Amino acid sequence: MSVPLVCFITWNRVGLTVQNLQALLDTTDDFELYIIDNNSIDDTWEYLQTVEDDRIKCKKRFMENCGVVYAINYALSKRKKDQYFILVENDVYIKIKEWISKFMEVMNRFPEVGLLGGVREGLFKQKKINPKLCSKEGISYYQYKMVLGCCNCIRPEVFDYIGYWNEETYGADIDMGIRINDYTPYCTGYLPTVQLIQPQYVCCDQCLYKNKCSLVKNNTTCFDIHKSNYCHDKFAKLIKEKEAIYFEEVKSGKRSIFCASIHDSDSINKHYYNKKMAEENFQYFIRNAN
């Protein structure tokens, strides 16, 4: 079997990217890394050019930010059929070195698990959730339907059912949870042994990139740039109607649960794809997040 494909998405906040990418790479586990940048306008892309590791297979910069789903699906379109797909966003700091091995350990022991998410400390209490503990021969995970999408490992067979992240709704983690749990033989859950921290800010004097940062002379920070262009919260309120349309079409039999992608023409030729809804989502981010 091929080693997992890891997709690391960046968009500004170079201070987070430096420390979190270093943590991601600080493991002896083998994988293929695709680093996808969504048109960062701080020093992110310049920093990425300096990162060297034999496991890095691709550094791709989009000249327009079309949203995170667009970026994820680009990397996913490069996946070999037998490859696990692991998504890590750039605000995720992975605390343990053997994190991929931990994901694989549970996937191998529980064939019904389709998606696992890493866990930041206090998440269950914060979200007021009580996931079901599943244990077998000393290996455990917590089964739960809605898994946050910041650090996910997905079994290759799941993609035979669902295709890609949903470009038509941009529902991301909520959408994925419903599609996998309700429309495939697989379930989803959390894996607390993959321990995460999700800092949203790094002080400039503690930043690992401070000696090379070009923003200091402009009296601004990479976090100021990120905040001024962040529009996901507003966008989330706009996609509820599209989610309803999509799942109604699935329930009525108009379409399958499989989602095609703009990055995979063969998938569009073989499956239903509402190009108008997808283009509306891409254009929203082009207008508001560049």
53: domain CATH number is 3.90.550.10
What is the per-residue pLDDT across 1-42, written as a single tens digit (0 to 9) for each? 899 999 999 999 999 999 999 999 999 899 999 999 999 999
User: Residue type for 70, please?
Assistant: Y
User: Residue type for 277, please?
Assistant: M
Residues of the chain with pLDDT under 70: none
Q: What is the mean pLDDT of the chain?
A: 95
3-state secondary structure 96-112: CCCHHHHHHHHHHHCCC
User: Residue type for 212, please?
Assistant: K
Query: Taking a C-beta distance cutoff of 8 angstroms, is the pair 61, 37 a contact?
Result: yes
Residues paired with residue 94 on neighbouring β-strands, in sequence order: 196
pLDDT reported for residue 234: 78
88 belongs to a structural domain: yes
165 belongs to a structural domain: yes
Query: Could you give the number of structural domains in the chain?
Result: 1
Exposure pattern of 45-62 as b/e (b: 16+ CB <10 Å)?
bebbeeeeeeebeebeeb
pLDDT reported for residue 218: 79
Q: What angle do CA 276, 281, 283 make, to 5 degrees?
A: 90
Query: Which structural domain range is residue 40 located in?
Result: 1-201+215-290
- How many residues does the structure list for the chain? 290
Query: Taking a C-beta distance cutoff of 8 angstroms, is the pair 222, 42 a contact?
Result: yes
225 belongs to a structural domain: yes
What is the per-residue pLDDT across 123-148, written as a single tens digit (0 to 9) for each? 999 989 999 999 999 999 999 999 99
pLDDT reported for residue 14: 96
Rounded distance, CA 198 to CA 187, Å?
Answer: 25
User: Residue type for 214, please?
Assistant: S
- Residue 171, helix vs strand vs coil: coil
184 belongs to a structural domain: yes
